[in-house]
Amino acid sequence: MRDSLRGIWVIAYRELLRFVRERSRLASALGMPIIFLIVFSEGLKRQIGGLAMGVDFVQFMYPGIIAMSVFINAVFSGLSVVWDREIGFLKEVLVSPLTRSGVVLGKAIGASVIGLIQTLVMLALAPAFDVSLSLVIVLELIPIVIVLSLAMAGFGLLIGSRMRSQQGFQVLVQMVVFPLTFLAGVFFPVNDVPRWMEIVSKLNPLTYGVDAIRRICLAGEVPGGALASNHPIIGVTVFGHTTTTIEDVAVVGLLGVVLLVGAIVSFNRQV
Amino acid sequence: MPLAAQAGEDAAKRCEAVSYEPKTPLSPASVITATGLARNFGRTRAVRGVSFDVAEGEVFGFLGPNGAGKTTTISMLCTLLAPSAGEATVAGYDIIGRRKDVRRSIGLVFQDPTLDEYLSAIQNLRFHAYAYGMPKRIRDERIHELMTLMELWDRRNSAVHDFSGGMKRRLEIARGLLHHPRILFLDEPTLGLDPQTRHRIWEYVLDLQQRETLTIFLTTHYMDEAENCDRIAIIDEGELVALDRPEVLKDSLGGDVVALRVEDGKAAIAELLARHGITAGLEGDVVSFNVPQAEEFVPELIRGFSSKVLSVTIKRPTLDDVFLSLTGRSIRDESPDPNQQLRRFVSTPGMRAQTR
């Protein structure tokens, strides 16, 4: 047990150390989401104006991009395992008394902290996108970002535990993670798209993560609060039932538990 | 017999120079035992049931060509690879049932670098100390001690990717020893390093071995490195073909090779057979034969020899000769050092003619 706990903090500590020391990684983790935000909002705001009930496109997209950045950052924690394997450092970790579960959870927690830093940087830009935040909103977002990060890190680590090359990992991310992210309602409401896309989107667990972040972020924009109301463009309606924030988080959280356990089992297998 | 006595003394001195005498007495307790240890990769039988014991405080070497199963054996002992058959204990712990205890008791320097090059030297060591749960006070002292010993303290804050190959290896050795392991595993510790650096690394390792009463288990395909070991296991195609002290292994070949250049070869051969019962071979004007303790034998021989001897060459058999006689192949068939190979290639006369 003590080896597990120590493993978690030692591995998480190194992830953060690497994040800070590698300038390119720092720049891409913080720069990419900001570029996305600026380009999409500036590029599309004249074409697409107000959507429904006081929410315009930029406000709609803003929390979506926050969620997307959190997902992608977390998935890439799996890449750091592949990287560690390539440079040999993984052996140093595997031959130490740290437990495998500690290593997996440490990587996932490291990714969550980086995801939180990203989120806070993006939240600081909220006024530029006409989104008004309150302390309550920020405090509510923190646990949700952590749950989303842990879940997606579980996915990345599960793949990373099996992959030998960084290229292989990148290909998988491009073929699985990017499509899933784009079909998660980041840029458009999933309740109002062609039928096939609606089905795919609602089967996609990321959709619920995006929805959770959006509901909280836009709570101040929608009269009466988006959390309770049946807003036409916010919320995921499945079989006539529109999910609540808690249900959204539960979907992602359950998936995360399965993925993290899978990653730990997969790590244990390689001795 | 003053001359013979002196020759004997010289021989003893030379023995001391080649074989590393353990400064601490070997305790009878075995710190590593392996029984029928085997590992298959699919159909390939990488290690085919090896058994051996390593005593506490010993420098124990695994010698063999590339692909003989050295790294596979070390990986099994270090709990990085599960054996297909057989069992082993390291520091008294079973390598399958007590993995975590084994991991705590060993330090490991891998064949390929395993440092995080983006972190500084001292950050790499701190990570290791955290991972092994060393208390803070001991940790900082120990890091300082080992980095000073390895002459890396001045460069402690440099990123590892700025280090030379030799510095990286020294840092890895320091890291492997940080948590006071009972056994240090070195898998090809000087692979890819130039001869001078290799020599330095060995000085550090043997110095540490004495300071810390370590047991060292190493693999190598360098003959001169194997000479530093108290005992050597020679491995070929996954099987142990010999296990003993280097001197004993070399003596097993029937002693030293003596080559005499003489005026009359045939007469010399006849005399050797008649007076000493030695069957010698003749090549040109050189008579050669094997004899144990040649340094003592040759002066005695020449004193009473009626044929005129022009010159004498005595060659100790090398471990490569041992490997050759056991397997019919030479370890040196594959040059371990790519630079050496290149040098050999460039210095080939035909090659020079081409470049001209």
pLDDT in tens, B232-262: 999 988 889 889 998 888 888 778 888 889 8
Mean pLDDT of chain B: 81
> Is there a contact between A88 and B80 if contact means CB atoms under 8 Å apart?
no
pLDDT in tens, A174-223: 888 888 888 888 888 887 788 888 888 888 888 899 988 988 888 777 66
Angle at B304 between CA B300 and CA B308, to 5 degrees: 105
- Quick one: pLDDT band at residue B16, thresholds 50, 70, 90? very low
pLDDT less than 70: residues of chain A: 1, 49-54, 222-233, 240, 271
pLDDT of B105 over the 70 cut: yes
Predicted confidence (pLDDT) at residue B203 exceeds the cutoff of 90: no
Measure the CA–CA gap between A259 and A205, rounded to whole angstroms. Answer: 12
Judged by CB atoms closer than 8 Å, whether chains meet at B114 and A91 is answered as: yes
CB B341 within 8 A of CB B335: yes
In chain A, the residue whose alpha carbon lies closest to the alpha carbon of B124 is A14
Mapped onto helix, strand or coil, the DSSP state of residue B337 is: coil
**Residue B336 above 50 pLDDT?**
no
Q: Which of A260-269, B111-120, B240-249, B283-292 has the lowest mean pLDDT?
A: B283-292
Q: Which of A87, A88, A98 faces B131 most closely, judged by CB atoms?
A: A98
B110 vs A2, A10, A88: nearest CB: A88
Q: What is the pLDDT of residue A231?
A: 63
d(CA A34, CA A29) in angstroms, rounded, equals 9
**B260-264 contacts, C-beta under 8 A, 24 or more apart:** B260/B286, B260/B287, B260/B288, B260/B309, B260/B311, B260/B312, B261/B285, B261/B286, B261/B287, B261/B309, B261/B310, B261/B311, B261/B312, B262/B286, B262/B287, B262/B307, B262/B308, B262/B309, B262/B310, B263/B307, B263/B308, B263/B310, B264/B307, B264/B308
Identify the H or E element spanning A261: helix A245-269
User: pLDDT-based confidence at B15, cuts 50/70/90?
Assistant: very low
Q: How many CA atoms lie within 13 A of B325 on its CB side?
A: 12
Q: CA-based diameter of chain B, in Å?
A: 77
Among A14, A22, A271, beta carbon nearest to B127 = A14
Residues of chain A that touch chain B, judged by Cβ-Cβ distance less than 8 Å:
2-3, 6-7, 9-10, 13-14, 17-18, 21-22, 84, 87-98, 271
- Residue keyed to tokens 């050669």: B288
In this complex, the residue of B106, B110, B130 whose CB is nearest that of residue A10 is B130
Q: Are B289 and B281 in contact (CB under 8 A)?
A: yes
Long-range contacts of A172-177 (CB under 8 A, 24+ apart): A173/A75, A173/A76, A173/A79, A177/A71, A177/A72, A177/A75
Confidence category of residue B11, pLDDT binned at 50, 70, 90: very low
Chain B residues within 8 A of A13 when measuring between CB atoms: 127, 130
For chain A, what's the residue count? 271
**B103 interfaces chain A, CB cutoff of 8 Å:** yes
- Fold that domain B23-250 belongs to in CATH: Rossmann fold (3.40.50)
Structure tokens at B105: 């008791």
- Number of A/B CB contacts below 8 angstroms equals 70
CA of B262, closest CA in chain A: separation in Å? 58
Per CB-CB distance under 8 Å, the chain A contacts of B168 are none
For B109, the closest chain A residue by CA position comes to: A92
Compare all CA atoms of chain A with the CA of B82 and give the residue at the minimum distance. A271
- Condensed to tens digits (0 to 9), the pLDDT of residues B190-200 reads 877 788 888 88
Our separate counts of H helices and E strands in chain B read 14, 14
CA distance A21 to chain B (A): 7
> Is A18 in Cβ contact with B131 (below 8 Å)?
no
Contact (CB, 8 A) for B223 and B146: no
Does the beta-carbon distance from B133 to A2 stay under 8 Å? yes
- Express each pLDDT in B309-326 by its tens digit: 889 988 888 888 888 778
Contact by Cβ (8 Å): B230, B58:
yes
Mean pLDDT calculated for residue range B159-176: 90
B162 in contact with A, Cβ within 8 Å: no
Q: Which residues of A11-35 are buried (b: 16+ CB within 10 A; e: fewer)?
A: bbbbbbbbbeeeeebeeebeebbee
Distance CA B211, CA B214 (A): 8
Q: Do A271 and B78 touch (CB under 8 A)?
A: no
Selected residue with higher pLDDT from B272 and B336: B272
Measured distance CA(B80)–CA(B112) in Å, rounded: 15
Q: Would you state the pLDDT for residue B47?
A: 92
Cβ contact (<8 Å) for A91 and B80? yes
Q: Parse chain B into domains and list their residue ranges.
A: 23-250, 254-315
pLDDT reading at B222 higher than 50:
yes
Task: Estimate to the nearest angstrom the gap between the alpha carbon of A3 and the chain centroid.
Answer: 28
> Which helix (H) or strand (E) segment is B224 a member of?
helix B223-226
Report the gap between the CA of A16 and the closest CA in chain B (Å): 11
The answer to whether the CB atoms of B119 and A17 lie below 8 A apart is yes
Q: What local confidence, expressed as pLDDT, does residue A232 receive? A: 62
pLDDT at B153 over 60: yes
| Residue B256 confidence (pLDDT) | 84
pTM of the model: 0.77
Q: Which residue of B has its CA nearest to A95?
A: B103
Cβ-Cβ contacts under 8 Å, B79 against chain A = 95, 271
The model's confidence at residue B24, banded by pLDDT at 50, 70 and 90, is: very low
Packing angle of the helix pair A100-124, A77-87 (nearest 10 deg) = 130
Please give the structure tokens belonging to residue B284: 């040109």
CATH of B254-315, picked from 3.40.1000, 3.30.70, 2.60.40, 3.40.50, is 3.30.70
| Minimum distance, in Å, between the CA of residue B317 and any CA atom of chain A | 38
Q: Are B246 and B230 in contact (CB under 8 A)?
A: no
**pLDDT score, position A178:** 86
Contact A6 B130 (CB under 8 A): yes
> Looking at the complex, does the CB of residue B131 fall below 8 Å from at least one CB of chain A?
yes
Q: How far is A253 from chain B (nearest CA, A)?
A: 29
Is residue B181 pLDDT above 70, yes or no?
yes
Q: What are phi and psi of A49, to 5 degrees?
A: -95, -125
Residue with structure tokens 């990419």?
A32
Which of A16, A96, A99 is the best mutation test for B, with the most CBs of B within 10 A? A96
Please name the residue that has the structure tokens 């999409």: A40
